[in-house]
Chains A and B, each alone.
Chain A
Amino acid sequence: MAIESGQSNSALTTRLQQAVNWGRKYSLWPIPYGTACCAIEFMASVSSYHDLSRYGAELVRFSPRQSDLMIVAGTISYKQAPILKTIYAQMCEPKWVIAMGVCASSGGFYKNYGTLQGTDRVIPTDMYVAGCPPTPENLFHGLMKLQDKIDRDGIVSSEDRHGARARVEG
């Protein structure tokens, strides 16, 4: 790039990073991974009254190839976990994950033989939203926190961002 000449690399990278992150954080394309009761509240969050799109996550896509934000809404059972992993793997970089509700965050009040104790056991998770189910406002708060986080991110893939942890947990 022509711009590069005469300037130090790092200064340029920082600015580019800001510009890119600014774009990324306000054009999130969520894919709902709804399994249970939280998915019903997710529907309320995206429909007209609460309207998630006001925060820059307008287009809900049902295809992992077209999305960069996975919102896991609901309980993940051990039987479901491999499917969650596959769908996460099908999303293109960069990508983020919000665990909506206590079930997705930690298993919630299902501490038992069938329930995965949090999505972070199988996929890297960026934000945990409390509540059973979380109110739409709560979810928006989580989304805005995620946007802050994206702002601080480098322009690297989430594989790098999460790589260390993902490798430890296999």
Chain B
Amino acid sequence: MSERLVGALRAEFGEAILDSDDHRGDHHVTVDKGRLLDVLGHLRHREGCGMLADVVGVDYPDRPERFDVIYYLRSVERPEQIWVRTRVEEGEEVPSATAHWRSADWHEREVYDLFGVPFSGHPDLRRILCHHEFEGHALRKDYPVELGQELQETEKLFSDHDVARAAHRASLAQNPEGQGDEIAATDLLTINLGPSHPAMHGCLRAECLLDGETIVDARAEIGYLHRCFEKEAEDHTWAAVMPYTDRLNYCSPMLNNVIYAEAVEKLIGVEVPERGQVIRVIVSELSRIIDHLVCVGTNLVDMGALTMYWYTFNVREAMYQIIEGLCGSRLTTNYARIGGLSHDLYPGFEEEVREKLKMLEESIHDVVKLAARNRIFLDRAVGVGAISREDAIDFGFTGPALRACGVEYDARKMHPYLGYEDYDFDIPTGEDGDTHARIMVRMAEMIQSKRIIEQALDRLPDGPINVDDASVILPPKEQVYGSIEGVMNQFKLIYEGIQVPAGTAYGFGEGGNGELGFYCISDGTGHPYRIKVRPPCFPIFGAYAHLIRGGMISDAIATLGSLNIIAGELDR
């Protein structure tokens, strides 16, 4: 469907569209830098690509126009997406898309931080993942992967000047007539929520200016768990990136494994046999359930409901036992392989899963019964941290947080992969986009995941789990130990890596928190040229300061829990 967009752009902008290409169904257009904002605005307002889902930087040191800056736009109503690329030289400015989307703020800061591409008209162009004293730009090809830079002191997010301005604004808001007491800057208390705070879920930081318990102003800061996934990926073979994906969203590693494998398979052009696909669906949905259980459980603890925590964590422990049986570890699963899976299911898997799904249903039932009409829970959750549908799209929300605002976007339905079109399931949505709606959507999604798993178990076919292609999948051990071809094959795949043909592909799926995607560029060697993760948490946390401003400090905690931000994925 997305060709339509390319045609529309050519008709509207003619010469300014320098070039267009189609990488395995992903449509890219290259535009003249001077018309970039017009093109983006046109796509947004006329063509229904309402969401700026990501901005990707790529470095080609041998080209005179060294950097590609690629804007990834998508519609949340139709299965349409397009990548708008512009090319710039070292030091040349790109006009900032913050004019059109608020999500552009953080995405562009990231490109600035890691590639050193400046954006003109950006309101707050600072580093975001690396610390403020970092020198150089880490994702440039000439930056050595191991060159660390120490930091002695943490950056303050509010200057004295900012505090004074915030105090002034707060006074005006309280007494517009100019009567009554002024709030002085010294009345405001600056506190750091995080990055090491028991109530923050991981190392996230929000600096808040408080007037009493009200948050007058807040700023969020990330990068405290920046483990350089994208740089590490360029330093490894395609297959060796898999364990790193475990540690992106460590609450649902299976989903990362599977979606990463899908992305690389799209680039190679192979498809996993049906049994492999069905197993992938099962483990993905189990992982989603675990993710939601952790999120809901800890969120409720934040509101003081410890009982529900035990209910959710008991089932989670039970689910972990399945995962552990399947791949030997609970957290760092490393189960999917490019072209298949590391091994088949264990005997008795099906019965165990069915039994534990029953447990899940009971516990969800219990939690809903305890929460649904619980006065404390409702007071703490209804209307708290609410975001409107338009704002959510503007900020680039996907997943349960977007569906809680009533937008039915789910990658499994809109762009089916792994055969999701053959399963019967619903997309639960909410209305108010608040903490309550987000929790309820997650609860309902677990029931849908359970339905999917049951259907998958019913249809689980016999047959191979891996593609039959010796250039992708490691040979069976008998061959490695028994024949010279087997040894050679194993040796080449391990040392040189899978030879992925040159090209670009964006593989994505529905992660625990929303659209999780891997934008992969191969130059035909055994190593990725560039992998850009589209982490669902990143744009969502980008809206955090907006969500908590003006609210109570305790609500900030409840809101954060319901957004389910996982630092490993956020900072990569």
Q: Which of the residues B131, B146, B223 comes within 8 Å of A111, measured between beta carbons?
A: B146
Q: Is A39's CB within 8 Å of the partner chain B?
A: yes
Q: Which of the residues B145, B147, B198, B223 comes within 8 Å of A77, measured between beta carbons?
A: B223
Q: How far is the CA of A77 from the CA of B196 in the complex (A)?
A: 13
Q: Could you say which residues of chain B place their CB within 8 Å of the CB of A116?
A: 148
The answer to whether A80 and B228 touch across the interface, beta carbons within 8 angstroms, is: no
- State how many angstroms separate the Cβ of A83 from the closest Cβ of chain B: 6
Q: How far is the CA of A133 from the CA of B246 in the complex (A)?
A: 12
Across the two chains, which residue of chain B brings its CB closest to A111? B146
The answer to whether A47 and B568 touch across the interface, beta carbons within 8 angstroms, is: no
- State how many angstroms separate the Cβ of A14 from the closest Cβ of chain B: 39
Q: Which of the residues A62, A83, A115 comes within 8 Å of B148, measured between beta carbons?
A: A115
Chain B residues within 8 Å of A, Cβ to Cβ: 129-131, 138, 143-154, 195-196, 198, 202-203, 223-228, 231-232, 243-244, 246-247, 250-251, 313, 317, 330-332, 567-568, 571
Q: How far is the CA of A44 from the CA of B145 in the complex (A)?
A: 34
Given A79-B226, A133-B331, A114-B130 contact (CB < 8 Å): yes
Q: Would you list 5 pairs from A and B whose C-beta atoms are within 8 A, ordered by A residue?
A: A36-B227, A37-B247, A82-B152, A114-B129, A114-B148
The answer to whether A35 and B226 touch across the interface, beta carbons within 8 angstroms, is: no
Q: Could you say which residues of chain B place their CB within 8 Å of the CB of A82?
A: 151-154
Q: Which of the residues A47, A87, A112, A117 comes within 8 Å of B196, measured between beta carbons?
A: A87
- State how many angstroms separate the Cβ of A63 from the closest Cβ of chain B: 9
The answer to whether A112 and B149 touch across the interface, beta carbons within 8 angstroms, is: no
- State how many angstroms separate the Cβ of A11 from the closest Cβ of chain B: 44
Q: How far is the CA of A75 from the CA of B203 in the complex (A)?
A: 10
Question: Beyond A36-B202, A37-B568, A83-B224: 7 further Cβ-contacts under 8 Å?
Answer: A35-B225, A37-B332, A83-B195, A109-B243, A110-B232, A113-B228, A114-B148
The answer to whether B130 and A80 touch across the interface, beta carbons within 8 angstroms, is: no
- State how many angstroms separate the Cβ of B429 from the closest Cβ of chain A: 29
Across the two chains, which residue of chain B brings its CB closest to A103? B227
Q: Is A20's CB within 8 Å of the partner chain B?
A: no
Interface residues of A in 50-94 (CB under 8 A from B): 62, 74-75, 77-84, 87
Given A36-B568, A41-B331, A78-B131 contact (CB < 8 Å): yes
- State how many angstroms separate the Cβ of A45 from the closest Cβ of chain B: 12
The answer to whether B138 and A33 touch across the interface, beta carbons within 8 angstroms, is: no
Across the two chains, which residue of chain B brings its CB closest to A34? B202
A-B pairs, 4 with minimum CB distance: A62-B198, A37-B250, A112-B228, A79-B131
The answer to whether B224 and A79 touch across the interface, beta carbons within 8 angstroms, is: yes
The answer to whether A113 and B195 touch across the interface, beta carbons within 8 angstroms, is: no
The answer to whether A78 and B150 touch across the interface, beta carbons within 8 angstroms, is: yes
Q: Which of B130, B224, B228 has the most CB of A within 10 A?
A: B224
Q: Which of the residues B148, B250, B332 comes within 8 Å of A112, measured between beta carbons?
A: B148
- State how many angstroms separate the Cβ of A50 from the closest Cβ of chain B: 10
Q: Is A132's CB within 8 Å of the partner chain B?
A: yes
Q: Which of the residues B129, B227, B246, B313 comes within 8 Å of A115, measured between beta carbons?
A: B227
